[in-house]
Structure 1
Amino acid sequence: MRILFEFGENDKDTSVKNFADSTDLTSSDDVHTPARDFNSASWKYALCTALLAVSIVVRPISNWIDTQSVIQQVVALVNPQASQMPNSLAVRLYHAMQRKGYEVSLGEGEVNIIYIRGADQFGRPNGNRINEWSDRRIVLQFRSGSPVIAGNWAATVKPGLPAIKNPLGKSGAAFIEPGQYRAWQVGSHHGIFGRVEEGLVQVAPVSFRRDVSRDGNVNGEPVQSGKIGLNQHSGSNQRYVDASSYACLAAQSVLGHRSFMSVVKSDPRYHQNPNYLFATTVLDVNDL
């Protein structure tokens, strides 16, 4: 197929014509006929713009589609070998948890809730920026003995900027310490905006550090432990974290959070016991 950009009689721009003459994508036996001509130059400009837009947009859209939990579940069912590849995120997460000596739930339908600090959707470092959704919330499951990603959402394990600059307590905003904690039950989260939603509510102690200097850096601060209302909820679709999290493990999307809760509540252990205590693992991107 030959793509030609020919313009009207009044359009004599030599540079455009030279570009058109050099745009040959097929063999020379492709014959150009008048029936293929556009009736006006405006349609040809529109076509050029559309082709450029598609080339820019298609890849980000496909990447976004690939991270949706429904798509991931279908891929895992159709092509289970994909999640068994040595470099797949599912396998890397599994191996990281093994290296750390963390508990891994292997039963059919059981969920492993994992947060990766400072990672994009593919488990690559992204700068770990404060007040941005620069972390990931992931649900890892095992199907026929192989690890698969059942959900992958933009999230934060860090407080937003308002919490850092003006913490609710004088001792500074809390940053959860990487580790594994069995500390959450299904319940109702009461957000800073007065919004109530279903989430995972902290009912047992976790380890954390306080940002005493209020600069987003807790390195060197003492590790503390306690129940501080560090729930797992949504970020109310906010572009930035801001006041949507004062210490919690929050995912940006409301719909994504609902999908997360649906997967979590499908765990057979929760069906047997509505008060089941869920474990959650917080990893750093460098752990992968």
Structure 2
Amino acid sequence: MSFLYDAAKRDTPITEDAIASNPDIAKQLQARLSNFWLLSEPDGKWGPKSKRALATFKAFKGIQEEGLGKATASSLINTDPHLLIRGWYLDGSWASRTVMWYVLHNFYISTNPGEINICYFRGLNRDGTWNGNAPFQFNDRRMIWVCNRNDQGLLVPHFKGNWLATCDPGEYYWEHPMNDSGCADIKAWQYQAWSTGMHHDQFALIQTGNITVLRGPDRVPDTGDDFCVDQHSVGHGQDFNFGEDPGRWSAGCQVGASRREHDQEFMPLVQSDPREKASPSRYKHWTAVINGDDFLSMFPG
């Protein structure tokens, strides 16, 4: 990191154009950014992903300067990657990078004991790798993650649940939409919009707040609290496999592929949240939907 030490002493920042014109410098800077799980293997080519990685590092550290100036270079040298975000201990795991996504996008994080965070990842496998996100398939992940504190009092995230699901409609309702404007496909973001209740014959999370969906092939935005976009599962005793079409089980809902997992694992964790216990069926649970390809592009690990 010799060039970083030089940059930390310079009165004039090194411009990104200058970095791009020097592959050796670019590679060294990429290597350091990869220590923070912001880039994969350094290649010496300073392009859009590298620029975004540097901008993301600055955002986490609250640095406002162009290019590679004193503040950025000093922070890159002195920051322990595990302590990239104040108050957290990160290790580059999927859960840690999920925290990074939440913080960067100003998502709400539940950190008190017993509180859960619900998150869906489009197109990711159980191990967090990309699967292509083909349409009309169970190929997403339904996740619940929580925070504990280590001996230093820092928050440490970990997953308590990781289940096969879909965030998107099956082929039937895509071809036969229930709304004249087209079938609903929830827009990736975070919403506080679901309370416990009954989805037909199953206990589930029922939409009770505003969300934004994208309708039909033209992806027309539509925001409302009455779309019946619930977090439910499939029929009694059913257990769909990866790649199978949800069929009529999803018209745009977030659907768990296994009814057993939904009934015996997902919903009990939802009910265990102290906010749910204090206000059953009235507390509105936060849920994030993240496009897996965007997530891996920004935080490859």
Instruction: Report the TM range for the smaller structure's normalisation.
Output: 0.5 to 0.7
Q: Report deviation, 1:86.
A: 2.5
Residue aligning to 2:228: 229
Structure 1 residue 170 displacement after superposition = 2.4
Contact 2:121 2:142 in 1 (8 A): yes
Q: Distance in 2 between matches of 1:85 and 1:255?
A: 32
Change over 3 Å in CA distance of 1:245–1:139 after alignment to 2: same
Aligned structure 1 segments of 4 or more residues deviating by more than 3 angstroms: none
Q: Name which one, 1 or 2, has greater alpha-carbon Rg.
A: 1
Tell me the secondary structure at the aligned position of residue 144 of structure 2: strand
The equivalent of 1:180 in structure 2 is 190
Residue-by-residue CA offset, 1:256-285 (whole Å, 9 max, x unaligned): 112100011100111111111101001111
Q: CA deviation at 1:85?
A: 6.0
2:170 and 2:99 map into 1 onto residues whose CA distance is 29
Q: Which residue of 2 is the match for residue 130 of structure 1?
A: 135
Structure 2 counterpart of 1:104, one-letter code: I
2-structure distance, mates of 1:101, 1:222: 25
CA RMSD of aligned residues (A): 1.4
Alignment-derived partner of residue 65 in structure 2: none
SS in 1 for 2:269: helix
Unmatched runs of 5 consecutive residues or more in structure 1: 1-83, 191-195
The Cα shift of 1:168 comes to 1.7
Q: Secondary structure at the match of 1:152?
A: strand
Match of 1:148, SS? strand
Structure 1 residue aligned with 2:60 = none
How many Å apart are 1:178 and its aligned residue? 0.5
Q: 2:269 aligns with which of 235, 244, 263?
A: 263
Kept in 1, the 8 Å contact 2:90–2:156? The answer is: no
* In 2, Cα distance between equivalents of 1:147 and 1:163: 36
Counterpart of 1:201? 206
The alignment of Structure 1 onto Structure 2 pairs a total of residues equal to 193
| 1:243 counterpart = 2:243 | no
Q: Deviations over 1:129-151 (max 9, x none)?
A: 11211111000101222101000
Q: How does 1:1-288 map to 2 (within 5 A)?
A: 86-144=91-149, 145-190=155-200, 196-211=201-216, 213=217, 218=218, 221-226=219-224, 227-236=226-235, 237-239=239-241, 240=244, 241-258=246-263, 259-274=265-280, 275-285=282-292, 286-288=294-296
Identical counterparts, % of pairs? 32
- Matched residue SS, 1:92: helix
Alpha-carbon shift at residue 110 of structure 1 (Å): 0.3
Q: 1:235 is paired with a residue of what secondary structure? A: coil
How far did residue 235 of structure 1 move?
2.7
Aligned-partner residue type, residue 128 of structure 1:
N
Q: TM-score scaled to structure 1, two decimals? A: 0.65
